[in-house]
Each structure stands twice: as C-alpha cells, then as structure tokens.
A and B are shown apart, each in its own frame.
Chain A
C-alpha cells in the first residue's frame, strides 16, 4: 500500500505535495528496493531518514545498512547488487566525491545500482548550497546520468532508472538540484505500487555469487585475452571496458523506449531531452536540471518582448545523446545556443557546452554555442540573470560566423 505521509492536495487522487528528497525515497520504496545503504550529507539526509522511517514502520521491506562513510555506502551497494539484491543509495558533493573510486568499480562490475543525487557544491570552500559540479565531476566513471527539472521528474526518473539500469547493466545517477528541488515542496503524482511492480521486472544479476557455481569476480585482469580452464578465450581488460561503452551507446535507445513505455503506463512520457517554445526559435537556451524550469519563465518574458527563443532541457547527459541533440537543434533551425549550466571544467568551460559543441561540430550543425556558468555555490540564479544571458547571446545571431564565438561568461559574478 502506498503510504504517503505528506500534506495531501485535494484535487487529484495520489497527488501529494512533497520535496524531491521525499519523492526520491518514495520512488525507491515503490521500486521494491531490497538493500539501502547511505551516509547522511546535507541536503540528502531527508532521503535517508525517510527510507529509515519506511523500513522501521514496515512499509518498506529492505535491509538498511547504516555505514560509517559514503565510500562504505557505495561498497555495500556494490556487493549487495553483486549478490542479487536491488539496491539504492543517495549522496552528493564531498560524499559523492568520496565514492569516486567505487563509482568506477560499480560501472566496471556492470551493476544496476541507482543513486539519487541532490546536487551540491564541492568544497573547498565549504558550501551546502546547490551547483552541479559534484555529479558532473563523475561523468567519466561509466554511470548513466539523468537530470531532473522538477520533483515529478525525480519520482518518475528513479523508477525508470531501475528499468534502464537493469536492462543495460550500468549503474545510474538521477540528479536534482539541492535545496531548489530537494527541499522545495511541489505537487507530485505518486504512481500506484502494483503498476510500478509490473513496470519493473525482477532483477537478475549477470554474474551470480553462488557456492554451487564458485566464481572469482573482478580479479586481476590482464591486458591481453587469456584462455580459461575450458579453453575458451576470455576478455582482456580492454574488451570488458569496451562492453561498458557498448552498453552506454545502447542505453540511449533503452532510455527513450523506457520513457515512452512509462508514458503509456503512467500518463507522463519522457525522452532524452525536452523542448519548450523551440518551434521557430532563432536562439535556444540549453540547460541541465532545474535551470530548465526557470529558463521557461525567462523565455515567456522574452517572447513577450518579441525574441524568438526556446529552451532545450537535456535530460540524459550520459550517455551523451550527441546525434539526437544535434538533429534536434538542426530541426529547430536555430542559429545559436546559449548553454546555461552550474558547473565548470576548470581550464576550459562548462561540461555540457563542451560536449554539445563537439556534437554540433561532428554532425555539421551550423550553430554557434556560448557557455554560461551560473549558480556555483548556490549563487542565486534570477530569471532576470537568464534573460540577460539570452539577450547577450541573441546579439550574436546576426554577426558573421567568424565573430560569433564568445568566451565563457560567469553570470552574476560580483568581483
């Protein structure tokens, strides 16, 4: 039985007002997670506390291992998943960074772990407020990454994440902005438990730790293929890692299909990205996470002023849907994009801007791309800040191609 303890909204059945943290916890409960292991860190702690409440009152049948650090939390998830349990964890910022070694390990072991990440700034200096540097820093570890614009997307994406992860056997992060979403109440329709159970097939681990069939999992693996005891030629490290890459490339289609199927079952379809008012846009704001919601407000205001600007919110960031995003922008027919993001790859520019530019170049889409860094350390991103950035980029539309480049700009820096 779905037990949702938040203040109920009267309008529709199963709609409650809840924070993204509670949506994440509820999604894990609905997904029938069997082992949870997490270490508290602001602003993730309510996820952990909510799950502990559920386990304690019996509404969630899971083993909860209260470990002594994030590194141990992700390790418990790895070994529990390897034995065959569906697992869940959550972390962010320095806690996520502490897991880093094990993120590589989980991906290399091909385990369908799902982790909720209420994005928070990395120390130093200390900040408990939002930006996306934490999850962006992990983009090379081999995990799938989905970014959410609002609390409904968090609920729905975590459920979908189990289906995607257990299909391609790749661990998956579902990211949502700390405080902006994690602690903000929004109406969320809670899917029916039985429908979620039907949507998610049982988890079948690919390599079983079983005394009846003893195997040694993740031993030292040589550079070259080597024969096993039966004379079968087995992989080198290179092949095992290639298979992870192959799984990522497959995951684009699996994510798309899962989003369509989710739409059919639950009435809310999902894709690799979302567009808003892009039909005739000259300039498109490309976003990751909750900036996408806010950019919609900015676009409404700018449209009223006569600008033809739209928003493309990237949802699936890893694997990077290079082809799909390029074709989307080509079809929109815009002449420029302004990438608004809450991260920077120091020494260059925003990660999304970099990845997008590479895709546009590869697929020959004649569009300029500007990189904007905003909101680090919880620096308030006002709708007027977004308007300002978009207007600036808009001015480049009519310049000759050679003059359309612009160095990365940090919006609302007060130096």
Chain B
C-alpha cells in the first residue's frame, strides 16, 4: 500500500504553467495542476470545447507541458479511442491516454461517445471536471446542474436534479470509478496515480467549484468544495471492479455520521440566491435519500 502523498513529498514539477487564461481562483486549475503531477509527462491528452480549452491557451502558445489534441465538443471519448488505437497499432502502448472534459462534454453532448468507449472498455482515463453548468459559454445549465441553481437557461432555478455520472459509469462495469475534489488535492493526486497504474476505462469525476458561475468570492474555492462534501452534496468514493468504498471525509461521515445540513453550502452561493425553502427542502431530501441508499447498499459499514 503506497503512502499518502503530502505537500512535502509531492513533486515540484509543474505541468500547468502560470499566466494562463483560467479565472482567478478557478477550481479546475487546482485539479488540473495536481492531476497532471500524478500523471506525469508520458501522456497524450484530448480535450473538447470547455474552460480547459481556454486555460490551455490560444495558438501558438500553450500553457501546459504535455501533448494535447483538441477535439470537438461531443467527441472526447471517441478521440481518446482513436489515440489509443493508433498507439497500439504503432507499438507505443506505454503512453497513457487521457480524455479531460467538462460536465457538458460528459453528461450531455459527450455521453454517447463516453458510453461507447466504456462499453468497449477502451484503455484510457476519462476525467470529468464538473463545475455544474456550461461555464465556458457563460453559465448555461447542463445535465449536471443541481436542482434550484440559477443559470442563464434556468433563470428561475433548475427544475431537475443532477445526473449522477459516476453511477452511470459504474453501470457500464468499468474497472475504476472515483470521485475526487480539488479541496483534497493530495487525495486527488493519489487517486489519479492509482488510475494511471490500471488499464481499461477509468472514470474520474471532479466537483470543481467555480467563482463566477456559482457566485462566491474566489478565495473560497477550496472551502466551497469542502462544504459540498461535508453536507453530502458531493461524496468521495471509489468503485473498484464494482466494489464501492468511501474515502477521506466522506468515509468519516459514513462511519461516524455528522453530515451537515445543506443550508450553509446553499446560502454561500448566489446561484442559489432565489431558491425557495421548498426547493431547499427538496434538495435536502435528495441528499438524504442518496445517503439512505448508501446505507441500504451496505456502503457505510
């Protein structure tokens, strides 16, 4: 069992370079930085239309020191499949293939290609960074937007609950599904490293707080991610060959209880500014039901 990485032991090498176009306090930046540290340089990334496209820079300057093939919005997993097929045909199988897409490119327009790639157990790591809306195009709702959240296309608050991509991927029986958070960067790093050592389709879902899209001051990005986990709106777990296991603070909640009510988390973001008490109650019920299911499935032992 490998020891948990700490800020002391974590590599100094930076693969994401400063002075890039990410917003001030971007949660994706933290996740991307640590994900790349774990993956190292022997990778080929493929990235669809998303905030990451912009973070990675405009021609002819890039802001990362790993190779990347930009691809059309709905194609991430298909693009990764092609990279993997070519590497296999050319005998370069030691290179890790990573698809890194947003929630729009994963849960909505990109879900077909992802489902196909997962069904083929394509040998790649798929990373979904979930900022819970189409943030790159100015905050339109996605299938991953939580109920009640304001977006430009759900101005009265989204009516529907969020799609559970991690469970959808687990239903494809892929070897590895894991949820991570930039608020726990050492865990994020270690889970990426663990994924790297495996083969087949590995799915990593990151909840990424977004200051302009969620409506909070940039200094609270890490705090926001922490609060999401503390109230059970987002949970940290792995599903390894179908076996579910909490880790980190979610594991503590499962074993010892103490899950906070969602109110503090909701009220800290202006995207929930106009949400009614009724909707908050519905959201709380959604979280409670999720945890009741965890208990029923035996995940909390």
Q: Give A contacts to B, CB under 8 Å.
A: 34-35, 37, 62-63, 65-69, 71-72, 75-85, 87, 101-102, 105, 209-211, 213-222, 226-229, 232, 234-235
Instruction: Tell me whether B85 and A63 are in contact (CB under 8 A).
Output: yes
> Which one of A81, A87, A209, A235 contacts B67 once the chains associate, using CB atoms below 8 Å?
A209
Point out the residues of chain A lying under 8 angstroms from B41, CB to CB: 211, 214
Distance A210 CA – B90 CA, assembled complex (angstroms): 13
**B269 on the A face (CB < 8 A):** no
> Which one of B53, B75, B86 contacts A34 once the chains associate, using CB atoms below 8 Å?
B86
Of the 9-residue stretches B110-118, B139-147, B259-267, which lies at the interface with chain A? B110-118
Besides the known contacts A80-B86, A219-B70, 5 further A-B residue pairs in the complex with CB atoms under 8 A apart: A63-B85, A72-B113, A79-B78, A85-B86, A219-B57
Residue-wise, chain B 65-98 has the 8 Å CB interface mask toward A (1 for contact) of 1111111101100111111011111100001000
Point out the residues of chain B lying under 8 angstroms from A226, CB to CB: 58-61
Distance A75 CA – B79 CA, assembled complex (angstroms): 6
> Which one of A34, A214, A220, A232 contacts B64 once the chains associate, using CB atoms below 8 Å?
A214
Given A71-B75, A78-B82, A101-B72, A85–B60 Cβ distance below 8 Å?
no
Point out the residues of chain A lying under 8 angstroms from B80, CB to CB: 79
> Which one of A69, A102, A213, A220 contacts B112 once the chains associate, using CB atoms below 8 Å?
A69
Given A66-B120, A68-B115, A211–B67 Cβ distance below 8 Å?
yes
- The number of chain B residues touching the other chain, given as a range, is 35 or more
Instruction: Tell me whether A218 and B89 are in contact (CB under 8 A).
Output: no
Distance A213 CA – B65 CA, assembled complex (angstroms): 9
Instruction: Tell me whether B43 and A211 are in contact (CB under 8 A).
Output: yes
Distance A105 CA – B46 CA, assembled complex (angstroms): 14
> Which one of B58, B67, B119 contacts A220 once the chains associate, using CB atoms below 8 Å?
B58
Residue-wise, chain B 135-179 has the 8 Å CB interface mask toward A (1 for contact) of 000000000000000000000000000000000000000000000
Point out the residues of chain B lying under 8 angstroms from A216, CB to CB: 56-57, 59, 62, 64, 67-68, 70
CB contact list, B31-63 vs A, under 8 A: 41-44, 46, 53-54, 56-62
Given A34-B86, A68-B113, A211-B41, A228–B119 Cβ distance below 8 Å?
no
Instruction: Tell me whether B59 and A220 are in contact (CB under 8 A).
Output: yes
CB distance from A290 to the nearest CB of B (A): 33
Instruction: Tell me whether B62 and A67 are in contact (CB under 8 A).
Output: no
Give 21 CB contacts A-B under 8 Å. Answer: A34-B86, A35-B82, A68-B113, A71-B78, A72-B112, A80-B85, A85-B86, A105-B71, A216-B56, A216-B57, A216-B70, A217-B68, A217-B69, A220-B53, A220-B54, A226-B58, A226-B59, A228-B60, A234-B59, A235-B59, A235-B60
CB distance from A242 to the nearest CB of B (A): 15
Point out the residues of chain B lying under 8 angstroms from A35, CB to CB: 82, 85-86, 89
Distance A95 CA – B43 CA, assembled complex (angstroms): 32
CB distance from A145 to the nearest CB of B (A): 22
Distance A228 CA – B90 CA, assembled complex (angstroms): 31
Given A209-B44, A209-B69, A221-B58, A76–B64 Cβ distance below 8 Å?
no
Instruction: Tell me whether B59 and A65 are in contact (CB under 8 A).
Output: no
Point out the residues of chain A lying under 8 angstroms from B75, CB to CB: 71-72, 75, 102
Q: DSSP majority for the B interface? A: mixed
Which 5 A/B pairs are nearest by Cβ-Cβ distance?
A79-B82, A68-B116, A76-B82, A83-B86, A216-B62
> Which one of B42, B58, B85, B86 contacts A211 once the chains associate, using CB atoms below 8 Å?
B42
Point out the residues of chain A lying under 8 angstroms from B71, CB to CB: 75, 78-79, 105, 218
Point out the residues of chain B lying under 8 angstroms from A232, CB to CB: 60
Distance A101 CA – B79 CA, assembled complex (angstroms): 14
Point out the residues of chain B lying under 8 angstroms from A69, CB to CB: 112-113, 116
Given A79-B80, A79-B83, A219–B56 Cβ distance below 8 Å?
yes
Candidate in B42, B70, B115 with the most chain A CB atoms within 10 angstroms: B70
Instruction: Tell me whether A76 and B85 are in contact (CB under 8 A).
Output: yes
Point out the residues of chain A lying under 8 angstroms from B67, CB to CB: 209-211, 213-217
> Which one of B53, B65, B87, B119 contacts A83 once the chains associate, using CB atoms below 8 Å?
B87
Given A68-B115, A211-B42, A216-B57, A80–B66 Cβ distance below 8 Å?
no
> Which one of A65, A213, A215, A228 contacts B85 once the chains associate, using CB atoms below 8 Å?
A65
> Which one of A102, A214, A222, A229 contacts B58 once the chains associate, using CB atoms below 8 Å?
A222
Distance A45 CA – B110 CA, assembled complex (angstroms): 25
CB distance from B245 to the nearest CB of A (A): 30
Distance A239 CA – B87 CA, assembled complex (angstroms): 31
In the complex formed, the residue of B with least CB distance to A215 is: B67
Distance A78 CA – B79 CA, assembled complex (angstroms): 8
Instruction: Tell me whether B44 and A83 are in contact (CB under 8 A).
Output: yes
Instruction: Tell me whether A219 and B59 are in contact (CB under 8 A).
Output: yes
Point out the residues of chain A lying under 8 angstroms from B115, CB to CB: 68
Point out the residues of chain B lying under 8 angstroms from A37, CB to CB: 81-82, 85
Distance A34 CA – B90 CA, assembled complex (angstroms): 8
Point out the residues of chain B lying under 8 angstroms from A65, CB to CB: 81-82, 85, 120
Distance A35 CA – B85 CA, assembled complex (angstroms): 7
> Which one of B42, B82, B88 contacts A75 once the chains associate, using CB atoms below 8 Å?
B82
In the complex formed, the residue of A with least CB distance to B43 is: A211
> Which one of B72, B89, B116 contacts A63 once the chains associate, using CB atoms below 8 Å?
B89
Point out the residues of chain B lying under 8 angstroms from A77, CB to CB: 82
Point out the residues of chain A lying under 8 angstroms from B70, CB to CB: 216-219
In the complex formed, the residue of A with least CB distance to B40 is: A211
CB distance from A149 to the nearest CB of B (A): 33
Point out the residues of chain B lying under 8 angstroms from A62, CB to CB: 89
Point out the residues of chain B lying under 8 angstroms from A79, CB to CB: 46, 69, 71, 78-83, 86
Distance A331 CA – B280 CA, assembled complex (angstroms): 81
Distance A235 CA – B61 CA, assembled complex (angstroms): 12
In the complex formed, the residue of B with least CB distance to A61 is: B89
